[in-house]
Chain A
């Protein structure tokens, strides 16, 4: 019976090509707007490290001054970064299963290969547990160990993109790259890896690319490497040397702890609070105790990676789809009622109400599917438009990531289109299913 319904539906759609196209377009427009907004929202709201996001915690301590909060808009929130001395204490205490202290920096990279120009490589200066903690995948080699970090030894891990650029994508483990004034031995090359959002460092944009290379944290201090991120201070302090900077109350370091269980988390919270109390006793941290652990989801919320505007936009897009569907309902009603004499005839010849409803629902589901496909194409065009309008050379990859349609979005879009078609067709189909068989037979 399905094949018969399908044939009748196709015949019906072909019979009124203009009307059919109008309905497909109405559904497609609604779907396209929803798909574009959903794609961006989906990219923003996707869990960047599923399976582990509730075990990884961004660590904060309220080291800010008493006069005013760190963030006037969120006066209850502690600073998002740590001072050097606090980060070093927490890192040295090893109170978590894994802990990572890090910041973003950069240096001029001088490639050996002929024809490749020097470029400023972004660097993540980080402790060695960065790689296992964030499940960073390696293509060649591995990260460094604690000994290499203490040295620090001149080792570097390259991103896939950097390895492509500098070594043509070959296994470069053991080769040397020059960063700034120093040579580093490549000990690892990552697979293509770009968690989105870039949850582990939201300072420089939530959707920017990960860094080009990774250096042991010890080099940061040894080479006094610059901070490519936020450095916030609340009091005037001596700033004559790098050591002064390290001793200051300025916050600039990111700190993450891996705490697999709730008990681990509670223990770590107590550890943080005890540490803060000891610092208060020593005359630091004048604000009330406010040390927080944010898991990945909470951290993304705290930084408003998905802004309320994005959620509102989803609502508006759905509303627009609703308006489109109301129009489709009207057109379907007009179309179905116009064909009521034929429906009456089918009823007279033995079609039950269910048969009639199913026949018409097949038609509207087909319309929905066509609307979904056209809507998807429109959405692809729309997203390309967003990329071309907003994506500059600086942030192109971020926009590409945000506007990329993935299989989930395609499935959701087609599902939404089918649902939209079904919803739009439900009332008209039910209504036409109530056609009394006798009414139109004389006039048909």
Chain B
């Protein structure tokens, strides 16, 4: 599903060059649920941005769902993002002026789907996250957990091949976090590949596999073996860093 090989990414200013990813290699299989952990500044978010085609990278190769997406132009990246990738953000990133229905509708609009098709997908996604009765509510009228479920519905409505979640429970209390994780697991069981960046070892343990990133490199890597959940920590400080 996701295959990165020797990907490097550096941010440059006149005075400074910061290497966010160094020869970053990772494979995520179809239907896998992978947690990416690592300390702050380790490159997790950069990895997620590159994986989500939100940012380009300097060198290396990246195949997504069998397609080489390494050197796509901006338009093509937008298209792939829209059709193959769903995003879940820590701060939900809902559009405050739009109601629940219209928020879920946003990515579908850019796919130029028919009204009926969009409506069907939105209703199905909201059914899945249990918010069918809140379609007219604005984000401000929902709890944090409900907002994150709307964001999940938005990510799912486009039927993505890959779901990228960046600290999806970071802004939620433990009860709501658990509900969101339950939902993600349910979605994964339905066949959607999920890559989740998290600091929370508790959440990471619920993934099939953990990938540790430190200094822009994968320090703990183990190829995916279907149905064999694993947590392997090679870096001596990884657990502490993740917990912090």
Residues of A within 8 A of B (CB): 1, 4, 11, 15, 342, 345-355, 436-438, 441-444
Residues of B within 8 A of A (CB): 45, 49, 52, 54-55, 74-75, 78-79, 81-83, 87, 89-91, 93, 95, 97, 106-107, 109-112, 154, 158, 166
Q: Complex formed: what's the CA distance from A345 to B88 in Å?
A: 11
Sample of 19 further A-B pairs with CB below 8 A, known A442-B90, A443-B91: A1-B109, A15-B97, A346-B110, A347-B78, A348-B52, A348-B87, A348-B93, A349-B87, A349-B106, A350-B78, A350-B79, A350-B82, A350-B110, A352-B74, A355-B110, A437-B81, A442-B45, A442-B91, A444-B93
Pairs A–B under 8 Å by Cβ, sample size 20: A15-B97, A345-B93, A346-B106, A348-B52, A349-B81, A349-B87, A349-B106, A349-B107, A350-B79, A350-B82, A351-B78, A352-B74, A352-B75, A352-B78, A353-B78, A355-B78, A441-B166, A442-B45, A442-B91, A443-B91
Q: Complex formed: what's the CA distance from A355 to B74 in Å?
A: 12
B55 touches A438 (CB 8 A): yes
Which listed residue (B54, B79, B83, B89) contacts A352, Cβ 8 A? Answer: B79
Closest Cβ neighbor of A440 among chain B residues: B93
Question: Given contacts A1-B112, A444-B93, are A348 and B74 in contact (CB under 8 A)?
Answer: no
Q: Complex formed: what's the CA distance from A437 to B82 in Å?
A: 12
B82 touches A441 (CB 8 A): no
Measured between beta carbons, the chain A residues less than 8 angstroms from B74 are 352-353
Q: Top 7 closest A-B pairs, CB basis?
A: A350-B82, A438-B54, A352-B78, A349-B107, A350-B110, A438-B49, A437-B54
Closest Cβ neighbor of B112 among chain A residues: A1
Closest Cβ neighbor of A12 among chain B residues: B97
B112 touches A350 (CB 8 A): no
B107 touches A350 (CB 8 A): yes
Measured between beta carbons, the chain B residues less than 8 angstroms from A1 are 109, 112
Closest Cβ neighbor of B85 among chain A residues: A350
Interface-central residue, A1, A15, A350, A355, by most chain B CB under 10 Å? A350
A350 touches B154 (CB 8 A): no
Q: Complex formed: what's the CA distance from A347 to B75 in Å?
A: 10
Nearest CB on B from A336, distance (A): 15
Q: Complex formed: what's the CA distance from A348 to B164 in Å?
A: 12
Measured between beta carbons, the chain A residues less than 8 angstroms from B111 are 350
Q: Complex formed: what's the CA distance from A15 to B109 in Å?
A: 21
Closest Cβ neighbor of B75 among chain A residues: A352
Measured between beta carbons, the chain B residues less than 8 angstroms from A349 are 81-82, 87, 106-107, 110, 154
A350 touches B83 (CB 8 A): yes
A354 touches B107 (CB 8 A): no
B93 touches A350 (CB 8 A): no
Nearest CB on B from A351, distance (A): 5
Nearest CB on A from B75, distance (A): 5
Closest Cβ neighbor of A433 among chain B residues: B74
Q: Complex formed: what's the CA distance from A14 to B166 in Å?
A: 33
Measured between beta carbons, the chain A residues less than 8 angstroms from B112 are 1
B75 touches A444 (CB 8 A): no
Nearest CB on A from B135, distance (A): 17
Nearest CB on B from A341, distance (A): 8
Q: Complex formed: what's the CA distance from A351 to B105 in Å?
A: 12
Q: Complex formed: what's the CA distance from A345 to B55 in Å?
A: 13
Measured between beta carbons, the chain A residues less than 8 angstroms from B82 are 349-351
Nearest CB on B from A45, distance (A): 47
Measured between beta carbons, the chain B residues less than 8 angstroms from A351 are 78, 82, 110
B55 touches A353 (CB 8 A): no
Measured between beta carbons, the chain A residues less than 8 angstroms from B110 are 346, 349-352, 355
Q: Complex formed: what's the CA distance from A1 to B75 in Å?
A: 17
Q: Complex formed: what's the CA distance from A4 to B109 in Å?
A: 8
Q: Complex formed: what's the CA distance from A436 to B56 in Å?
A: 10
Measured between beta carbons, the chain B residues less than 8 angstroms from A353 are 74-75, 78
B55 touches A348 (CB 8 A): no
Measured between beta carbons, the chain B residues less than 8 angstroms from A11 are 97
Measured between beta carbons, the chain A residues less than 8 angstroms from B90 are 442
Q: Complex formed: what's the CA distance from A351 to B97 in Å?
A: 18
Nearest CB on A from B69, distance (A): 14
Interface-central residue, A4, A348, A354, by most chain B CB under 10 Å? A348
Nearest CB on A from B218, distance (A): 20
Q: Complex formed: what's the CA distance from A444 to B166 in Å?
A: 14
Measured between beta carbons, the chain A residues less than 8 angstroms from B87 are 348-349, 441
Measured between beta carbons, the chain B residues less than 8 angstroms from A444 are 89, 91, 93
Closest Cβ neighbor of B74 among chain A residues: A353
Closest Cβ neighbor of A351 among chain B residues: B110
Nearest CB on A from B155, distance (A): 9
Question: Given contacts A1-B112, A438-B54, A442-B91, are A350 and B97 in contact (CB under 8 A)?
Answer: no
Question: Given contacts A349-B87, A355-B110, are A441 and B79 in contact (CB under 8 A)?
Answer: no
Closest Cβ neighbor of A437 among chain B residues: B54
Closest Cβ neighbor of B81 among chain A residues: A350
Closest Cβ neighbor of B54 among chain A residues: A438
Closest Cβ neighbor of A352 among chain B residues: B78
Nearest CB on B from A20, distance (A): 14
Nearest CB on A from B22, distance (A): 19
Question: Given contacts A349-B81, A441-B89, are A342 and B95 in contact (CB under 8 A)?
Answer: yes
Closest Cβ neighbor of B82 among chain A residues: A350
Which listed residue (A348, A354, A443) contacts B81, Cβ 8 A? Answer: A348
Closest Cβ neighbor of A350 among chain B residues: B82
